[in-house]
Amino acid sequence: GQLEQLRHRLSSRLASIRHVVAVMSGKGGVGKSTLTTNLAAGLAMKGHAVGVADADIYGPSLARMLGVAERRPKPGRDGVAPPRTVLDIKVMSMALFLEDAQAPVVFRGPSREAFTWKGMLEMHALREFLADTDWGELDYLLIDLPPGTNQFATLHDLIRPAGSLVVSLPNRLSREVVGRSLVLARQVLKAPMLGVVENMAGYFCNGCLSRQPLFDRQAEADYDGLPILGRIPFDPRFVDACDAGRPYLLDYADAPPGQDLMGLCDRL
Ligand code: ADP
pLDDT tens sequence across 224-256: 889 999 999 999 999 999 999 999 999 999 999
pLDDT at 106: 35
Q: Is pLDDT at 209 greater than 90 in this prediction?
A: no
Ligand 1 atom nearest to 241, measured from its CA: 16
Task: Tell which one of 24, 25, 30, 34 to mutate to probe ligand 1, the residue whose CB is within 8 A of the most ligand atoms.
Answer: 34
pLDDT at 52: 96
The one-character DSSP state at 87 is G
Q: Apex CA 95: angle with CA 248 and CA 262, to 5°?
A: 25
- Ligand 1 midpoint to CA 36 (Å): 10
Q: Which of 66, 12, 61 minimizes the C-alpha distance to 38? A: 66
Give the CA distances from residue 122 to residues 128, 131, 182, 220, 257, in Å, rounded to whole numbers and listed in that order: 10, 14, 21, 36, 35
Ligand 1 and 240: CB distance under 6 A:
no
User: What residues does 210 pair with on adjacent strands?
Assistant: 205
Amino acid, single-letter form, for residue 182? L
**Pairing state between β 74-76 and 79-81:** antiparallel
Q: What is the pLDDT of residues 164-191, one digit of tens each?
A: 999 999 988 889 999 999 998 998 899 9
Highest mean pLDDT, choosing among 71-85, 86-100, 141-155, 215-229: 141-155
- Ligand 1 midpoint to CA 6 (Å): 35
When mean pLDDT is compared across 89-103, 138-152, 249-263, the lowest value belongs to 89-103
30 is in an annotated binding site: yes
Closest C-alpha residue for ligand 1 atom 16: 239
ipTM higher than the 0.95 cut: yes
- Ligand 1 midpoint to CA 226 (Å): 23
Q: Which of 73, 78, 118, 114 minimizes the C-alpha distance to 97? A: 73
Task: Tell which one of 38, 177, 239 to mutate to probe ligand 1, the residue whose CB is within 8 A of the most ligand atoms.
Answer: 239
Ligand 1 and 168: CB distance under 6 A:
no
Closest C-alpha residue for ligand 1 atom 15: 239
pLDDT at 113: 43
pLDDT at 98: 62
- Determine the average pLDDT of the residues in 191-199: 95
Contact by Cβ (8 Å): 267, 194: yes
| pTM, entire model | 0.91
pLDDT at 109: 34
Q: Is pLDDT at 102 greater than 50 in this prediction?
A: no
Cα separation, 52 vs 143, in Å, equals 6
Q: State how far Cα 192 lies from the chain centre.
A: 16
Name the CATH superfamily for 2-265: P-loop containing nucleotide triphosphate hydrolases (3.40.50.300)
Enumerate the domain spans of the chain. 2-265
